[in-house]
Amino acid sequence: MQSQTNGPAPQWTILKLLKWTTDYFKSHEIESPRIDAEVLLAEALMIGRIDLYIRFDQPLKTAELSLYKSMIKRRVRREPVAYITGTKEFWSMDIRVSDNVLIPRPETECLVEKALALIPEAVDQTILEIGTGSGAVALALASERPRCRIIASDLSQRAIHTACKNAGIHGLSERIQFLCGNGSLPFKEGGRPFDLILSNPPYIRTDEIEGLQPEIARYEPRMALDGGPDGLDCIREITGSAHRLLKPNGWLLFEIGYDQQRGVEKIARGAGRYESVSIEKDYSGYDRIALIRKKGI
């Protein structure tokens, strides 16, 4: 995007910029070059992506071009688009994100769907989400089940700050209580039991993290990714303690790695407190959601 040495500088229209950026991203092996170019340019211009297509001939102002160029530089360093724009769509909501929280993934919507299937619409239930991050899952549940009492915890105070901000933006602050704490430790046995506990815990094996896409390995918070040597440390910890907080016949739901079915089943059955465990697939056909039910009285 260099100006010519002699003569007037080229006029950068939306169409020219999209074509140039797409080629530039391709040369840097960006996975979705055209989409990323559109998202970033729309953000720089503060318009919707669809509006780009009806303004192809619109030239950019100097300040707009400068902002867009700074975004391009960040992207070719493999910073995720969501961190550059500060938002990611989840459950039809724009969720604010930063490098303090994991970027919400489409497959995590499967966790929300499975939870909703277990929560009757007309019944008051108490739900706990462990490791809420941006608050995306808790917000999705609160938006769909307004009668439920939802508590969402996270070890990171910065993550809790982000989640609270998102709840405020979407008018859900009154429906969710956010707590900073490690796993189930903030909750005492003998208190009001939960009907359902769910989590998208860290489940990547420690030695696999550096081999992930640079967008993940370099930028997303390690504590939200690292599940220990076998990827199951957090799942093991939560499964071993969640039964103390669940009602009889209550449910524990996890997002898991595509190859962790046997490990999760072994952990749940070995705990001796649960009567069933099943694994559901995500939209791509991979094992993704573990549904574990506590024994009845």
Of the candidates 31, 47, 77, which is a domain's last residue? 77
What is the rounded distance in angstroms from the CA atom of residue 177 to the CA atom of residue 38?
A: 36
Domain co-membership, 140 together with 232: yes
Each residue of 264-296: pLDDT tens digit? Answer: 999 999 999 999 999 999 999 999 999 999 998
Domain co-membership, 124 together with 174: yes
Q: Is residue 148 part of a domain?
A: yes
pTM for the full predicted model:
0.92
Domain co-membership, 118 together with 200: yes
Q: Is residue 8 part of a domain?
A: no
Of the candidates 77, 98, 130, which is a domain's last residue? 77
Domain co-membership, 145 together with 61: no
Note the pLDDT of residue 192: 77
Residue among 174, 90, 85 nearest 135 (CA): 90
Domain co-membership, 205 together with 116: yes
Q: Which domain holds residue 63?
A: 14-77
Please provide the average confidence, as pLDDT, over all residues in the chain.
Answer: 93
Q: Look at the chain and report how many structural domains it folds into.
A: 2
Domain co-membership, 179 together with 247: yes
Each residue of 180-221: pLDDT tens digit? Answer: 987 666 666 556 799 999 999 999 999 999 999 999 999 999
Domain co-membership, 134 together with 193: yes
Q: Is residue 20 part of a domain?
A: yes
Q: Is the pLDDT of residue 7 over 60?
A: no
Q: What are the b/e assignments for 200-230, b being 16+ CB within 10 Å?
A: bbbbbbbeebeeeeebbbebbbeebbbbbee
CATH number of the domain residue 211 falls in: 3.40.50.150
The count of other CB atoms within 10 Å of the CB of residue 40 is 24
Domain co-membership, 140 together with 72: no
Domain co-membership, 127 together with 39: no
